[in-house]
Amino acid sequence: MAFSSHTQPLTRHNASTVTGARFTFHLPAVEPSAAEARRRVRRQLALWHLPEATCDNAQLVVSELVTNALRHTRSQTVACELRLAGPLLRIAVAGDGSGPSEVPGEAGEEDEGGRGLFLVCALSEGWGVRPRDSGQGHVVWADLTARPGSR
């Protein structure tokens, strides 16, 4: 699977495209954090009055990205960021540990896992991975269609 061609990180977006809506949180790198991330995302997107479909998709995406950070890196904490940029909602999840340097291969027919990034790809307009600005860990991000004010 190839990465999306638009891999520009959140912190480097042109300021004129960002609507100013931003929400960040940090969680410990423990199993219950994926469920907590879903709850926080649902609550914040409801406050922003985003469509139900966007909220549902965002919960799935953040769950997959946090779960991958928990399972495939040696992180102590996981940072999550939601940002509205024009018609898109960017979800970014960063681990502070090291992890695999390549995208996992295709899941086998009998495998119980290994399809998370395919789900992220299917639900998003684009996604990618980049090193954290600190040099410690990676950021995985996904852009979802969001139209604030509509339900």
- Round to whole Å and give the CA distance between 128 and 60: 16
pLDDT at 72: 84
pLDDT at 86: 82
Task: Give 19's pLDDT tier (boundaries 50, 70, 90).
Answer: low
Q: Which fold does the domain 10-145 belong to in CATH?
A: Heat Shock Protein 90 (3.30.565)
Domain ranges of the chain: 10-145
For the chain, what is the HEC assignment?
Answer: CCCCCCCCCHHHCCHHHEEEEEEEEEEECCCCHHHHHHHHHHHHHHHCCCCHHHHHHHHHHHHHHHHHHHHHCCCCEEEEEEEEECCEEEEEEEECCCCCCCCCCCCCCCCCCCCHHHHHHHHCCEEEEEECCCCCCEEEEEEEECCCCCC
More confident site: 55 or 10:
55
C-beta contacts of 112-117 below 8 A and 24+ residues apart: 116/64, 116/65, 116/67, 116/68, 117/1, 117/64, 117/68
pLDDT at 15 over 90: no
Under a CB-based contact definition with an 8 Å cutoff, are residues 124 and 142 in contact? yes
More confident site: 139 or 131:
139
Average pLDDT for 94-102: 69
pLDDT (tens digit per residue) in 38-85: 999 999 999 999 999 999 999 999 999 999 998 888 889 999 999 998
pLDDT at 110: 52
pLDDT at 92 over 70: yes
